[in-house]
Amino acid sequence: MSALARYFHLMGKQVQGYDRVASVVSRGLEAEGIKVFYNLDPNHIAHQDMVVYTPAISRDNAEYQAALQAGIPLLKRSEVLGIISRDYQTLAVAGTHGKTTTSAMLTHVLQVCGMDCTAFLGGISKNIQSNFRHGQSQWLVAEADEYDRSFLSLNPWFAIITSMDPDHLDIYGNQEAMKQSFLAFARQSQHLLVHEQLKHIDWGKAVKTYGIDSGDFCARRLEVQGINWQFDFVAEGHIQARISLPMPGQHNVANMLAALSMAWMMGAKAAELQKAAATFAGIYRRFEFQYHDEQLSFIDDYAHHPAELEAAISTARKLFPQRQLVVIFQPHLFSRTRDFAAGFARALSMADVVLLLDIYPARELPMEGVSSQLILDQLRAAVKQLASKEELIPLLDAYIKPPAAILSLGAGDIDREVPRIASWVQAQAGSLGTLANEK
């Protein structure tokens, strides 16, 4: 939504919008001259030419109803993106996880390789300090969201599908229905690049594949150098370049591999790909280091699906094998917690200490019998506890035993606690440094 707001603002339109609470994103929009309201008021809708909404907005929303009654055109976010994309050669990135990182990587890679793309991203890219980039070429990178079948508004020239794990079952009902939606998206794409794990699916067309050690494009000879990962980029059966990626995790190697593969097929050179990967700065809330030294590290991540938690926690384990691993997790949605409580528990059990916040409801009302306790009951971590936001710092005081690594995970409003946790970590690190000097 905020990327669309930036697009229309750049086009010279008067743009305003509503959000429930102030955030880094909404403050960024305000700094750019876009009006953001934090109170619902039907008067905000008066005299508007068009209202764009996200499916997260309920149909009884006062402003939605005001637009409906006034006969103002109402369009879903995905419909508007689909309309805009018709003027471009669209490169779409879909998947139940990895799509934000991969689309941001692809945007950066294309830019470095001289392909001046426009981009609509689902997260804030640190390279462009935004989730929107206005380019001058025919290329458009679009994050293609499977939620509410939104990606079916796109007809890509080339699409990447990163993953297809069960998710959004509140919308789809079951995994098969979700799979059929992905197949429909694939049919709407002229060309398709899929993760090697998805090669067994009958996509109804010829596809290219990418993966670790296998696929038409693959990453081989993975090596960990601190928080950087290095690998050989193999295309057409030959090593094309040795890649250094300043973003840890095998899942991020796969994400960058997808971006490099797409750019390679578009004519990028090996030296350009090396430079692009080495200069990728990351994404806000995607395994984002808030603090790091020899005794304490604090990482924040948007992970909110069991597979994403597993990727984040296992990456931290590989980076810090000798450290105590502390995870703060805020479940997102009652329905997702209900459907995947066992998967969340398995992933979180890789940590030494787990602090579970209450479920962030987002668009949902509470469900009887569904709470963070569902996850806690199945957890096998040495220390596990339900916690309020107010209790986080005292609990960290009680449980942290440096050297330690702390992860905050979730897609709700846990990011608002990040500055407070970071300040505590820095204060602790300062105390440890003082003690070391005294010794």
What are the boundaries of each domain within the chain?
2-72, 80-278, 288-438
330-362 pLDDT per residue, tens: 999 999 999 999 999 999 999 999 999 999 998
293: Cβ contacts below 8 Å, ≥ 6 apart: 429
More confident residue, 24 or 81: 81
Q: Is the pLDDT of residue 436 over 70?
A: no
Provide the CB-side half-sphere exposure for 384 (13 A, CA). Answer: 18
Percent of the chain with pLDDT over 70: 97
Q: For the chain, what percent of residues have pLDDT higher than 90?
A: 82
Q: Which class is 2-72 in CATH?
A: alpha beta
Whether 292 shows a pLDDT value over 90: the answer reads yes
Report the 10 Å Cβ neighbour count for 336.
Answer: 24
Average pLDDT rounded to a whole number, residues 78-91: 96
Nearest Cα to 233, choosing from 208, 251, 211? 211
Looking at 275-284, 307-316, 426-435, which range is the least confident one? Answer: 426-435
Residue 437 has pLDDT above 60, yes or no: no
Please tell me the chain's helix, strand, coil percentages from 3-state DSSP, rounded to the nearest 5.
40, 25, 35
pLDDT tens per residue across span 174-220 = 888 889 999 999 999 999 999 999 999 999 999 999 999 999 999 99
- Note the pLDDT of residue 313: 97
Lookup: tokens for 34: 């876009």
Residue 169 has pLDDT above 90, yes or no: no
- Per-residue pLDDT reduced to its tens digit, 102-126: 999 999 999 999 999 999 999 999 9
For 33-46, what is the mean pLDDT? Answer: 93
Mean pLDDT (whole number) for 391-398: 96
Phi/psi for 55 (5° steps) reads -60, -15
Contact 414/387 with Cβ under 8 angstroms? no
Report how many helices (DSSP H) and strands (DSSP E) the chain contains, helices first.
Answer: 14, 20
Q: How far apart are CA 37 and CA 40, in angstroms?
A: 8
Instruction: Give me the residue label for tokens 């050179």.
Output: 269
Q: Give the angle subtended at the CA of 332 by the CAs of 57 and 374, to the nearest 5°.
A: 135
CA-CA-CA-CA dihedral for 68, 69, 72, 73, to nearest 10: 30
User: Which pLDDT tens digit goes with each residue over 249-274?
Assistant: 899 999 999 999 999 999 999 999 99
Q: How confident is the model at residue 166 (pLDDT cuts 50, 70, 90)?
A: low
Topology (CATH level 3) of domain 288-438: Protein-Tyrosine Phosphatase; Chain A (3.90.190)
Lowest mean pLDDT among 224-228, 236-240, 334-338: 224-228
End-to-end alpha-carbon separation of the chain, Å? 54
CATH level 2 (architecture), domain 80-278? 3-Layer(aba) Sandwich (3.40)
Could you identify the residue written with the tokens 């005794």?
Answer: 295
pLDDT band at 167 (very low <50, low <70, confident <90, very high): confident
Name beta bridge partners: 99: none
pLDDT for 435 equals: 37
Helix (H) or strand (E) holding 221: strand 217-225
DSSP label of 132: E
**Largest Cα–Cα distance of the chain, in whole Å?**
73
pTM of the predicted structure, to 2 decimals: 0.87
Q: Determine the pLDDT at residue 363.
A: 79
Structural contact between residues 309 and 347, judged by C-beta atoms closer than 8 angstroms: yes
What is the secondary structure of 223-289 as a DSSP string? EEETTEEEEEEEETTEEEEEEEESS-SHHHHHHHHHHHHHHHHTT--HHHHHHHHHT---BTTSSEE
- Spatial distance between the Cα atoms of 389 and 358, rounded to a whole number of angstroms: 9
Asked if 217 and 235 count as a contact pair (C-beta separation under 8 A), the reply is yes
User: Residue 328's closest CA among 420, 439, 191, 219?
Assistant: 420
Give the pLDDT of residue 146: 84
Identify whether the C-beta of residue 153 lies closer than 8 Å to the C-beta of residue 78: yes
Query: In the predicted model, is pLDDT for residue 439 greater than 60?
Result: no
Q: In whole angstroms, give the CA distance from residue 436 to residue 263.
A: 49
